[in-house]
Amino acid sequence: MHAGIIFLLVIVGSVLFHIFTPWYWTDIASNWGGMDSTITLTFWVGGGVFVAVCLFMVYCVFRYSHKEDRRAEYKPEDKKLEKILTWATTLGVAALLAPGLIIWNQYVNVPKNALEVDVMAWQWGWQYRLPGADGKLGTTQVRNIADNNPFGINPDDPFGKDDIMIESDVINLENNRPVKILLRSVDVLHNWYVPQFRSKMDAVPGTVTFYWFEPNKVGEYEVLCAEYCGVGHYAMRGGVEVQDKADYEVWLSEQETFQQLSARYEKLNVDGNKLAKK
């Protein structure tokens, strides 16, 4: 008897915990509300099955606990019942799978007007680059990376000259404009993750990966690394600031292009040499 009561309390407690939990997802700040809805749907269906199965189990514990003078039923199979359960489960699973796949289809198809943001990860930090006036990012190579070329942009690529280099671990984004995050890593796996945007993808050295979202709430957000990348993993943070169009454009105009950065370093070098000569 006690056993049944304790199991019952566990089930009731689980449901109450879910209803009254102070810990739940952060306020969403992107277009991926569909992910939240699918989670909610899965909670209803899955949670319903969990409660139903467990309550049935508790009922059996109360109703059929051992008595010397009673015998269990002898019925090896019930084809009809098994068939009903199989089909009901299949239908339920399909109902959960369908919205999942629909949203995934949106996730892998990036809108044409998305702004490309090149995110480069290393142990342990983030760096950002935006396409310049030509709207195209210059090609890159790990071997080109140097102080005066933090992204390793190919010097003879004309598209690279006007690329905008962000000298900060915080990137600004324009509110309500889709962004395609291009992820690169120079050393190990990383993952550029903002919980409020719901989306994430690993950065893999040797290849460029991507995902997209549309920020829809002005504010500052923290970037976390979500793929284990060595001892500094837990401290690998960055930031995102989502701004209205006007503010964003002011910020954008203050950033340096690759050409300007190269020129600045050249000047530094020349000045340095002069100093050394003196």
Partner 1 sequence: MSDEYNNNKSYQAQSSEVLDGSAGSINPDMDYVRPAEIPEQDLYHAHSFIEKWIFCQDAKVIGVQYFLTAVFTGIVGLILSWLMRLQLGFPELAGFMTAEHYYQFVTMHGMIMVVYFLTALFLGGFGNYLIPLMVGARDMVFPYVNMLSFWMFFVAVAVLMASFFVPGGPTGAGWTLYPPQTILEGTPGSGMGILLMLISLSLFVIGFTMGGLNYMITILQARTRGMTLMRMPLTVWGIFTATVLAMLAFPALLVSAIMMTLDKVLQTSFFMPTILKAGEVLEYGGGSPILFQHLFWFFGHPEVYIVALPAFGIVSDLISVHARKNIFGYRMMVWAIVGIGGLSFFVWAHHMYVSGMNPWFGFFFATTTLIIAVPTAMKVYNWILTLWRGNIRINTVMLWCLGFIVTFVNGGITGIFLGNVSVDVPLSDTYFVIAHFHMVMGIAPLMVIMGAVYHWFPLVAGKMLSETLGKWHFWITFLGAYSIYFPMHYLGFIGVPRRYFEMYDSPYMTSAVGMNEFISIAAFIVGAAQFILVFNIIKTLKTGKKAEQNPWKANSLEWYTSTVPPEHGNFGERLPVVHRWPYDFSVPGAKDDFIPQTTAPSEVANTEVEKT
Binding to partner 1, residues 90-109 (CB under 8 A): 90, 93-94, 96-97, 100-101, 103-105, 107-108
Closer Cβ to partner 1, 77 or 156, answer by number: 77
Residue 44 in contact with partner 1, rule: CB under 8 A: no
Residue 107 CA to its chain's centroid (Å): 11
Among 20, 23, 254, 278, binds partner 1 (CB under 8 A): 23
Closer Cβ to partner 1, 71 or 274, answer by number: 71
Return the structure tokens found at 145: 């990376």
Binding to partner 1, residues 48-77 (CB under 8 A): 49-50, 53-54, 56-57, 60-61, 64-67, 70-77
Closer Cβ to partner 1, 121 or 261, answer by number: 121
Query: Shortest approach of partner 1 to residue 274 CB, angstroms?
Result: 26
Q: How far apart are CA 251 and CA 218, in angstroms?
A: 14
Residue 125 in contact with partner 1, rule: CB under 8 A: no
Q: How far apart are CA 256 and CA 179, in angstroms?
A: 20
Q: How far apart are CA 195 and CA 50, in angstroms?
A: 27
Query: Shortest approach of partner 1 to residue 120 CB, angstroms?
Result: 10
Contact stretch for partner 1 (CB under 8 A) within 31-39, 160-168, 255-263, 268-276: 31-39
Q: How far apart are CA 197 and CA 117, in angstroms?
A: 15
Pairing of strands 219-225, 190-193: antiparallel
Q: How far apart are CA 233 and CA 225, in angstroms?
A: 7
Binding to partner 1, residues 173-232 (CB under 8 A): 183, 186-189, 191, 193, 195-196, 198-207, 209, 211, 222, 224-232
The count of residues interacting with partner 1 (CB under 8 A) is 100
Closer Cβ to partner 1, 90 or 273, answer by number: 90
- What separation in angstroms does the CA of 176 have from each of 15, 215, 216, 248, 264? 37, 6, 5, 12, 34
Query: Shortest approach of partner 1 to residue 15 CB, angstroms?
Result: 11
| Sequence-ordered list of residues with C-beta below 8 angstroms from that of 179, at least 6 positions apart, any chain | 114, 115, 116, 117, 173, 212, 213, 214, 215
Closer Cβ to partner 1, 115 or 224, answer by number: 224
Residue 139 in contact with partner 1, rule: CB under 8 A: no
Radius of gyration, CA atoms only, the chain: 28
